[in-house]
Amino acid sequence: MNTRLPVEPYDVVDLITRKRFAGALSDAEVAWLIDAYVRGVVAPEQMSALLMAIVIQGMEPAEIRALTAAMIASGERLDFSGLGRPAIDKHSTGGVGDKITLPLVPLLASLGVAVPQLSGRGLGHTGGTLDKLESIPGWRAALTNDEMRRVLRDVGGVICAAGTGLAPADRAMYALRDVTGTVASVPLIASSIMSKKIAEGASGLVLDVKFGSGAFLPDQLQATELAETMVRLGQDSGLRTVALITDMDAPLGRAVGNANEVRESVEVLSGGGPADVVELTLALAREMLDLAGMRDVDPAPALRDGRALASWRELIMAQGGDPDAPLPVARETETVRATSDGIVQRVDARAVGIGAWRLGAGRARPGDPVEHAAGVEVLVRPGDRVRAGDPVFEVSCDEEGRMARGIAALAAAVEVGDAVPTRRPLVAARIAEA
């Protein structure tokens, strides 16, 4: 007896060819394509070809909406409407020293906002929030949906890995994009981020879209295009969305790594910490409070009076961690010194990120282990005056063989000159719903 396979309504080769020559796909075609890929009808080689065509030719707004909707439809949708407090989420496109989630979530929780923060791991020169938090003994990222709701209800904030049921089509496609050179595409980035955020079920979303040498999109115009696309996707789905365009040309704060970024975040939660980390934390907090209907609430006092730090401790303990346990300390530490006199013009975020990665703080491939004690301390900022021999970086690692390669990446990271550099604003622009 012959078993006949169902007849598919479209031919994937036709869709690849049309997109290759800049044609548009219909909503029905996009929905079928994503479903067929999940079912195994569309082969990875075919999806790779289509993704490359999208990278080269782009997508129309209607196609991006259809792609986002299809990825949402591939999995479950969460609902946080019964928490008794507004659920507002935040997403960053990632950067060097970007530890903002760590102080931001407990800060908002201490003010009565629920923050269901689904975070990721680092890859290449940018760090991952989950890697940083796993420096804390006992803390765990993998929570069930019921556990996530419990922590949200009891603490007000949760930071955890996205479950496998949330936009699984995006998970499969991102793994393919990562190995086929098709990550850096505004339509693909926007639909990937927003499919998970819309499915997550929050009532508002604040996006931190970065540009500069340490960002995935170094050009501000590209970052703005991405922000506008994501805000539009949020608006179309009924998710109130705001985006801040922020400068990632220099590392955020002093610490770049994992355990050292946790230490710096606790400094911020204790009323101290680097000025730029505090500034961005408060800027994002104000946007989230606005979406929560709490525009008149000033978040700054909660960093000074202990409320945010108390929420941090509750959050860490609720996920199995010990907030009082010593964080890992590296076995090897060396100092990188200035080679000339002058004024620091620039600290290259990408070079610092690559240095931390080579020291062991990051990973080259998904699944690689990270060294939680490895990292870089940035000791100078643009505008600082230095003399030859002054310390500019302190680098740490657990494997002696990594040290030389990490230091080599930092050799040209600090530019020194005679002029006083113009201070660039940390928040370059704000994109809101029309």
Which residues are part of the catalytic machinery? 91, 170, 177, 192, 196
Question: Quick one: tokens of 269?
Answer: 């939660």
Spatial separation of the C-alpha atoms in residues 13 and 186, rounded to whole Å = 23
Question: Quick one: tokens of 387?
Answer: 């003399």
Nearest to 155 by CA among 324, 312, 322, 288: 312
Q: Which residues contact 200 (CB under 8 A, 6 or more apart)?
A: 78, 89, 116, 118, 166
Crossing angle for the helix pair 275-291 and 259-269, to the nearest 10 degrees = 70
Residue whose entry in the numeric block shows the structure tokens 């930092």: 410
- Residue 101 main-chain phi, psi, to 5 deg: -55, -35
- Residue 362 Cα to chain centre, angstroms: 14
Residue whose entry in the numeric block shows the structure tokens 């309504």: 9
At residue 356, what is the residue type? A
At residue 45, what is the residue type? E
Question: Quick one: tokens of 170?
Answer: 């995006």
Is the CB of residue 27 less than 8 Å from the CB of residue 66? Answer: yes
Q: Which three-class secondary structure state does DSSP give residue 418? A: coil
Residue whose entry in the numeric block shows the structure tokens 């927003």: 194
Question: Quick one: tokens of 20?
Answer: 């290759």
C-alpha distances (whole Å) from 63 to each of 14, 66, 172, 242 are 16, 5, 19, 22
Spatial separation of the C-alpha atoms in residues 276 and 150, rounded to whole Å = 33
Q: Which residues contact 145 (CB under 8 A, 6 or more apart)?
A: 78, 163, 165
The full DSSP string for 248-276 is -SS-SSSEEESHHHHHHHHHHHTT-S-HH
